Chain A
Amino acid sequence: MLKLTRRILAIVFWLGITLLFLDFTGTVQPFLGWMAKMQFLPSVMAMNLITIAIVVIATLIMGRLYCSIVCPLGVMQDFFAWIGRWKVFRKNKKAKFANKYSYSEEKKWLRLTVLVLFIIMLLAGFNAGMVLLAPYSAYGRIVASLLQPIYIGINNLLAQWSEAHDNFLFYQVEPHENPTLLIIVAAVTAIVLFVLAFMHGRTYCNTICPVGTTLGYLAKFSWLKMQVQEDKCIKCGLCEKNCKAACIKVEKGQPVKFDYTRCVACGDCQAVCGKSALHLVPTKKRSKASSHADAASDLSRRSFLAVTGTAVAAATLKAQEKTTDGGLATIEDKVIPERKTPLTPPGSLSAANLQQHCTACQLCIANCPNGVLRPSTNMEHFLQPEMQYDKGYCRPECTRCADVCPAGAIRPISKEEKTAIQIGHAVWVKENCLPIADEQRCGSCARHCPAQAIQMVPIDTSIKQNPDDQQWYDGEGNKLDWRAVNDLLMIPVVNNEKCIGCGKCEYLCPARPFSAIYVEGHEKHREI
C-alpha cells in the first residue's frame, strides 16, 4: 500500500516537474508551478515558510517522504535503481526479488562534512560548489540541458508537419544555446547518479545530498516509523537485501535495526516481506522539531569583479548600391557587450540577491520565450541566469521567469510592476552609431523604446527644438523647413531615469556586430 501510493505520487510529481522544465510555451506553469515551489532547498532560499513548514512537518510525521515523492532527483534515482533491479541484470534470475542491496554503515562524517561545507558555501557565496550539490537544481540542469533540446527538436519536427499542413498547432522554436560547461556538469551528474543508483540505490541521497542529510536527521524524530514486528520476523533478510537505502540491518538473534536518517519511507521493505512483519507505526519517543533550515544570510558578498573594456569596434555598414533585384543581405551576428554589472531579470531585486538565492536549476532559462536568459559561465554566478540581448529582449508582456522561480531569486511581479522596474540603463556607444559612423539617419532605438526614455537630438549642437511649437531652429533662429528636418542627422540621448533596461534598443540597433546602444546592469534594481 505504502509503496504503491508512494509510486503513484512520485510519478505524478516527477512528470509534473519534468514537464515544467520542458514546456517552453508557458502553458503548464499555472497548473504545475506549485510543484517547483514545493522544493525544499529553493524554498529555504526563498524563505518560503509554507513549504518549509509542510516539508518539516511531513518529515516529522512520516519520515523522508519528501525524498521519495517530491524530489525529482530522488525519483529519478529510484527509476535508475529500478532498472538496476531488472531480471536481465540479476545474477539469480529465478529469485522473486532482486536482493541486490545490503546494509552498510552510515557514512556519518561524510554526510555531516558535506552538509557543513554546503552551508558554508551557501553563506560565503561560493555558488559553483553550492549549486553542484543542490539536488533539485541538479535535476533541473539535466532536464534543461539534456532533455529540453530533444523536446524542442520533437516540437520542431511537429512544427514542420504543422507548417506543411497549414495549421498553427505547433511552431518552431530555437533551442536554448546551452554552454558546454552546463552540458558537461549536467551529463556528469546524470552519469554518476545513474551508476550509483543502478548499483547501490540511494547512495547519493544518503551520503552527499544536503537536503537528504537535513531531512534524515529530522526523520530520526518522526512519529511514524517503519518497524519490524519481531514475533513475525523470521530474519530472512529480504528487507535488507531489497532496501535501496541500505539502512536495514538484519542479524540472526538480534532485533532488526533501521537507520532512520537514511530511510526514505519508500515501503519497498514492507512490500517484499513475506510475513507481513513490517509496519509503519508510531514511536513512543516524542521529537523536538529542530530545523536545520538555513536561513538566507545577509552576509555581504565579494564585490563583483569590474570587467571593463567595452567593445567598441565601429560597425561599418556600407550601403552598397544595388544593381539587381531580389536577394537578402547577410546579417552579421551580434557580439554580446561586456557588462560591468550583470543584468538580472526584473523581480530579482539585484544581481546580488539573485546570486544569493538562485540554485541554478535552469527553470527560468528553460522557460524564457525570448532567448534572453542564459546560464552564466562565470564562476561567481555559476550557471545562474543572466540576461543577454543579442537574440531578443525582455518583452513587456512576459513575466515567466518571475512566475516560475521557486527560490525567491526572481520574485513574482505583475506586468504593470515590470514596466516600472529599472534593471539597468542604456549606454550609447558613439563610434558605432549609424548617424556618426555612416551618416545614416536612424532613430531605431528611440522609436522602439517602450519607456520613451530615448530622444533623438541633432548632432549639430546649434540646432535646437522649441518646446512650444515643437519646431527646429538653427543657430540664427531660423526655422528649418521639413526637408531640412528630414535630413537632420540625429543621435539618441538616454534619459537614465526613465530607462528600465529592457534591451529593446540594444536588440534592434542596426549596428552590427556591436550595437551602438547597450544596457548596463544596475547593482540594485529600482522602481521608477
Chain B
Amino acid sequence: MKDLNRRDFLKIAGAATATAAIASCGGSTNGELGDLDPAGHHTGAIPTDKMTYRTNPNTGDKVSILGYGMMRLPNKPASPTSDPSAPTPEEIDQEQVNKLVKFALDHGVNYFDTSPAYCQGHSEESTGIALKASGYDRSKFYIATKLSNFAPQQQTYEEGVKMFQNSLKYLQTDYIDYLLLHAVGGGGLENLHQRFLDNGVLDYLMEQREKGVIRNLGFSFHGDVEVFDYLLANHDKYHWDFVQIQMNYVDWRLANETNPSNVDDLYGELEKRGIPAVIMEPLLGGRLSKMPDHIVATLKQQRPEDSVASWAFRYVGSKPNVLTALSGMTYMEHLEDNLRTYSPLTPLNEQEQNWLETEIADLYVSYPIIPCNDCKYCMPCPFGLDIPAIFVHYNKCVNKGNVPENQQAANYQQARRAFLVGYDRSVPKLRQANHCIGCNRCSPHCPQNIRIPQELQRIDDFVEKLKQNTL
C-alpha cells in the first residue's frame, strides 16, 4: 500500500470510471482500455517486433497470441444515402476498421476472426476490405470465419455451400485459414445434426479442407457439453485442427456461474488430444475490464502499471495450448493495451493464476452482474427490445454501486436517480425491459445461457420498485 502513490491512485480511479459512449457494431465495449499516464497518454511506444507467437502443430502456422475479433467493429452514424427508415441509422466505420487492422498487422497481429452473422452481416465484408487495404500479402495473415447457419432456412446443404462461398467472396480470398462450425452446443446434438451432420454440410467442409480451400477446420463451442464430447469422440473421423472455446479466469472453476460447462475440463481434453485451443471471451465482452471498484483496486495494487484487462489476457495466454486469444477491439486504446500485454506475454506464475481463479473470480461473481458479453447474438428482438443495452446498463450500475438493495442504502437517492436517468439514456423507453413479453426467442441464441426473459423481468421489477420507491 505504501507503494501506491497518488499517481497510481489516480489511474485506478481513472480506469474504474473510464467510459466511452460511442456505439460499436458489437456494442460499446469500452472496458479494454489500457492504463493512461496523468496526461491521458499511453506510456511508452508499443514494440512492433515483440509479439508472442504460438505454433499450430498441424500446419506450422505461427499465430500471434492476440487474435483480432471482428465482432465489435466501430460504428459511425450512417451516411444520409442509407435507408432513412432503418431503426439503427449506423454503419461500420470502415476507415477506422482499416486503421485498426493495419495497426494490428504492423504490430504483429496475424489472426483475424469474423463470421457471416457478425455486425448484422457486414463484418466479413469489412474485414476483407481492411485486410486488402492494409497492403499485407495474403500469406502474412490468417483469416478465420465460420459457418453461421443458425436460422432453420439456412440449414440445407445448398445454403451451407452458399454461405461458405459468400465468405470467400466477401473476404476477397480463395482460401480460409481457419473455418469453424459456429457455436455448436446450443440446442444439443439434435441441433448439431440439423445444422451440419444430416445435411452434408460438414462433409462439404471436409472436402474443401482436402482441396486446401480450408486450411484448418474446427468448431466454436457454447453450451451442451454432450456436443463437445461427441465431436471429440469422433475426432478420428473429423480430425479437428483446432477448437474455439470460451475461457477466462472467472469461468475456469466457477463454470456453473456463467457457463454450464467446466472450462478446465474442455481445455484439458483439448490439451490431451493435442488440439490447439482458440480462446474467445477472455475478457467476457469487456466485463473483466469494467470491474467493480474494489476489484479494480485489488488488481491494480498488484501491478499498478498494468491495465485491469491485461490480467485476463495474461491469464489465457499463460495456458500453453492456447493458439490465440480473441479480443473484439473496438477502439485503438483496446488494441494498444492488448498489444502491450502480449508484446511479449509475461506469463502468470502459478500463484497468480490461483489468485485470479479463486479470490478474484469469487469476488467477481459475488456481484449480481448479468453475464452478458454484449455479443448481440440475441438481437434483433422481434418486439424491439435492446436486450444487450439493458444488461450493459444494469451491469454498469452494479459496478458503480448504483443498484441499491433497499431504501436504507446510504446512497439510495443518488443511486436511484443514476439508475433511472441512466436507463432512459441508454435504452429508449420503447426498448426497455418492461416491453418483454417472454417469447423467449432470444435465449436459445445466447452463448452465455442467460435466461434473458427472466433477467429482463427481474430488472423491470427492480425499475418499478425504484420508480415507486418501494424497494
Interface residues, chain A, with chain B CB atoms under 8 Å away: 163, 166, 168, 171-172, 317, 319-331, 392, 395-397, 434, 440-444, 447-448, 508, 510
Tell me, yes or no, whether B187 is within 8 Å of chain A by CB: no
Contact with A along B425-459 (1 / 0, CB 8 A): 10001110011111101000100000000000100
Check A397/B468 contact, CB under 8 A, given A322-B151, A323-B154, A327-B88.
yes
Residue of A nearest to B149 (CB): A323
The 6 closest A-B pairs by CB, nearest first: A324-B121, A326-B376, A331-B384, A321-B151, A171-B421, A397-B468
| Residues in A neighbouring B121, C-beta threshold 8 A | 323-324
| Residues in B neighbouring A397, C-beta threshold 8 A | 467-469
Tell me, yes or no, whether B382 is within 8 Å of chain A by CB: yes
- A321 to B469, Cβ gap below 8 A? no
Bound-complex Cα distance A328 to B25 (A) = 12
Contact with A along B368-380 (1 / 0, CB 8 A): 0000000111011
Chain B at the A interface: mostly helix, strand, loop or mixed?
loop
Excluding A327-B376, A447-B438, A510-B437, 8 further A-B contacts by CB distance (< 8 Å) are A172-B425, A319-B441, A322-B150, A325-B376, A326-B376, A326-B379, A328-B384, A510-B435
Residue of B nearest to A326 (CB): B376
Tell me, yes or no, whether B292 is within 8 Å of chain A by CB: no
- B430 to A168, Cβ gap below 8 A? no
Chain A at the B interface: mostly helix, strand, loop or mixed?
loop
Q: A269 to chain B: closest CB distance in Å?
A: 52
Q: B410 to chain A: closest CB distance in Å?
A: 17
Tell me, yes or no, whether B422 is within 8 Å of chain A by CB: yes
Question: Can you identify 9 A-B contacts, CB atoms within 8 angstroms?
Answer: A171-B421, A172-B424, A321-B153, A324-B116, A326-B25, A326-B379, A326-B380, A329-B380, A443-B438
In this complex, which of A163, A166, A326, A442 has the most chain B Cβ atoms within 10 angstroms of its Cβ? A326
Check A168/B467 contact, CB under 8 A, given A323-B154, A326-B26, A326-B379.
no
Tell me, yes or no, whether B87 is within 8 Å of chain A by CB: yes
| Residues in B neighbouring A321, C-beta threshold 8 A | 151-153
Bound-complex Cα distance A166 to B425 (A) = 11
| Residues in A neighbouring B17, C-beta threshold 8 A | 166
- A448 to B434, Cβ gap below 8 A? yes
Q: B186 to chain A: closest CB distance in Å?
A: 13
- B380 to A331, Cβ gap below 8 A? no
Bound-complex Cα distance A327 to B375 (A) = 11
- A328 to B87, Cβ gap below 8 A? yes
Q: A115 to chain B: closest CB distance in Å?
A: 46
- A508 to B424, Cβ gap below 8 A? no
Tell me, yes or no, whether B8 is within 8 Å of chain A by CB: no
| Residues in B neighbouring A441, C-beta threshold 8 A | 438-439
Which one of B120, B153, B436, B437 lies within 8 Å of A326 (CB-CB)?
B120
| Residues in B neighbouring A172, C-beta threshold 8 A | 424-425
Check A331/B119 contact, CB under 8 A, given A166-B19, A323-B150.
no
Residue of A nearest to B416 (CB): A168
Check A319/B425 contact, CB under 8 A, given A326-B25, A508-B434, A510-B435.
no
Which one of B87, B434, B441 lies within 8 Å of A330 (CB-CB)?
B87
Bound-complex Cα distance A344 to B439 (A) = 34
| Residues in B neighbouring A442, C-beta threshold 8 A | 437-439
Tell me, yes or no, whether B417 is within 8 Å of chain A by CB: yes
- A328 to B379, Cβ gap below 8 A? yes
Bound-complex Cα distance A440 to B440 (A) = 11
- A324 to B421, Cβ gap below 8 A? no
Q: A384 to chain B: closest CB distance in Å?
A: 26
| Residues in B neighbouring A448, C-beta threshold 8 A | 434
Check A163/B87 contact, CB under 8 A, given A325-B120, A325-B376, A442-B437.
no
Tell me, yes or no, whether B299 is within 8 Å of chain A by CB: no
- A327 to B120, Cβ gap below 8 A? yes
- B379 to A327, Cβ gap below 8 A? yes
Bound-complex Cα distance A397 to B467 (A) = 8
